[in-house]
Amino acid sequence: MPDLGKYAFTVLSAYGATLLLLGGLVLVTWVRARSVRQRLAEAERRREAGNG
């Protein structure tokens, strides 16, 4: 690890915040994708039930 001197806390905090934000975006995207997939499956079931 390079010597960051007096900026070590600032730089490492920025890296930490970035990782937290990226992790949050991944989590939100994953949860939303599950929700959309479920709603799509429900809509397809209703459509097939209406045509049957």
Delimit the domains of the chain by residue range.
22-52
User: Alpha-carbon distance 49 to 52, whole Å?
Assistant: 5
Amino acid identity, position 3: D
**Phi, psi of 3, rounded to the nearest 5 degrees:** -75, 115
What was the pLDDT predicted at 52? 59
- pLDDT tens track for 9-38: 999 999 999 999 999 999 999 999 999 999
pLDDT at 50: 85
